[in-house]
Structure 1
Amino acid sequence: MFCYLGCDSMQEVSLYEVDLTPTPEQLVSSYPYRHVYLDSCNSNLFGHRSHPCKRVEFVKDNSVEGEDHLSIAWQQGDSCRYLGVGFPWANYVGKNLKNLEQIAALQFHVRLDSGSVSKIPMFFSLVDYGGRQATSKINLLNVEGQRLDEEWRTVRIPLATFRASEKGLNLENVKELRIEFQREGHVHLDAIQIVPFHHEGKFLEPIGEDVCENLPLVMNARNLWWGLNGSETMGWAEGEGFLALHYDKTGPQRDWNSCGVALNQWEALDMSEVYSASALTFQLHGQFSPLNFSILSSTGAPRQIRQRLSLDHCIQFEEGIWSCAIPIKQFDQHEQFNWSATREVRLTVTEDIDAAMHELQWSEYRGNPNKVHRWLEHHKQ
């Protein structure tokens, strides 16, 4: 028996299906212009000359990468409204970051010359060759350890947060990176580069295992905070147990009006069992002013619920001393809020105030949410 096999019936069959599409990490890591600033010998920098309000130095000691790093001290005043430096990296070549916008971040190392803060008045801008720019800033959730202090901390600013299309920035022809400094400060910067970035970062994912079973939750200086600037506008008074609030809505610090406290080290905290019979409580010493409170969740919608402090929430038991309670059931959309992933309490000041907040707590509240004064009278100490 003979069997004939025609040539046109033969097909090439690959033993293995090979996907040659590069991963996002490979795309970013192979980008030829990913290094923005390494050191003074290998990188371009402008705005580093001596200035009455700004001092830029190249420091060799204690650098993360390269031969040296940047030390930048500044103090804004009427004679120097704009303070900044710029990095026209890759020798002024036009950089195409369009394909990296959703998969990469601007990464750098930063430390303070002294002390610790939760917010640095620095703003980062990408500028194209048409003169258009888009700006972003440091988010504490993308800071290593969620702290800014005298230790080197890795910081990432996702390229997507610059919102290039909204600002009209041409991401296909980026000229330079600029950093603007406001108010005053002293930081050290090193190793600025573009790195892979996953937007669902570990800091934002609820771990789902920490459950609040008992109240009160005390919110004091031992918690992680952002937005504090010592005692200038809002900050914990050194050696004291109160949060100082000094805000002038027409003053030079008027933009510094918000702060927030992590309830569980920036991880999710399940408040499902306790929220319905609870309130934010505190004492306000000094001038009364309406304050805006927000509670934030890691997941779900809405992510943030709000309530504004009013005299309906407070009783003045002594001259200049107010006892206050804001029932959680008064917060808008509290029934739709995902209480299993509660993460943060936030405070925003919009009116002039000179006061001190004592004993800020998330407390048990079993009174009528619309009759706060009666509850405060009953719990007067």
Structure 2
Amino acid sequence: MSLAEYGTELDENGHPATPDDATTRAPARVPLRDRLLTLDELGNLAPPEPLIDGFLYRNTLAQLSATAGSYKTFAAIAMSCSVALGEAWEGHRVPSAEKVIYVAAEGASGLRSRILAWCELSGCDPRRLSDQLYVLPCPIQLGNFADVSEACDMAREIGAGLVVLDTRAKCTIGLEENSATEQGRAIAAAERIQEAAGCTVLDIHHAGRSGSTPRGSTAWDGGVWSDLRMEGSDLVAKISCEKHKDAPSGCEHHFRAVPHTVSETLMPGVPETARQTLVVVSSDGETDPLSLTGSVRQLWDAVETASTSAGMSPATLLDVSDISRATFYRALKTLQTRGFIKNAGTEKRPMWVGTALGRQAFKGGAVS
């Protein structure tokens, strides 16, 4: 419930507004007596509807927390693009297309290549994201009345179904991170945005150094409807659904970060290094021993036993793997798309090396 519903509105400095301000800016307060529900009326309440089945639900407040370098922004971008297009995200149903506002509070300079890379790997025409995905290249300060009011108007006018705040730290400057009282103000502000547009607000937050537990006050952990926690390193990641208030939770989903260089067609005149990025994709079930051929194992053995730290060129790998050219390139593509190898060279001169995900998959002959 928002501060406005309690009749406690804040001015632009975060102080209680005067009666005149509260009257003009806050919606009319509904008396508590008029909010009472009978048992029959409880039965008329709609069940939670998924925004991304199993991850996010409509008109709720959610958080995704992860340590630095865990690929949380890449995951948030992939979710946002899927919701904007109304297409399943890595096998998880997205019932309908919704407009998305992505608040790039830490800067928007690298988002274009990340979004275009997702489009290329997903086979999506980026033009389909026009008027569906919007990027705000500055924070919305949840402790600032003017910022929150403007964000409410913006989300309502656009008709947003999802607002992503990346990251909470940049959107709560001036609010003590460890204070339940001050973070409670931030939660109430995020709920105002949610209620204004009937949208889902996804808060991206840093975890502590020791794991995926969110940093700072636990007020958010109790206040959110969905609590997602992410861990990742060396191109391997996991998202745990710690909590959904009224939907199944406790599940884990595994992902890999696939290196990708956006084509010059989509980013003409941009240097190759500025087109190199990552795309987070599902790896659930990908290490099933029955899903890979012997030639893939043979090529993996060549990568691991013969490669240097700088990697090996395709020509050298072909020579040492002792398989036919056609089979070699099919096996190479399999290892690449599953994240078992990565390019340590350039787009024009690739040098392939094994990844931690590949070593985990092939450990002890698990994959054959």
Q: TM-score range by the shorter chain?
A: under 0.3
TM-score if structure 2 supplies the norm length?
0.22
Specify which structure has the higher proportion of helix: 2
Specify which structure has the higher proportion of strand: 1
Query: Between Structure 1 and Structure 2, whose CA radius of gyration is higher?
Result: 1
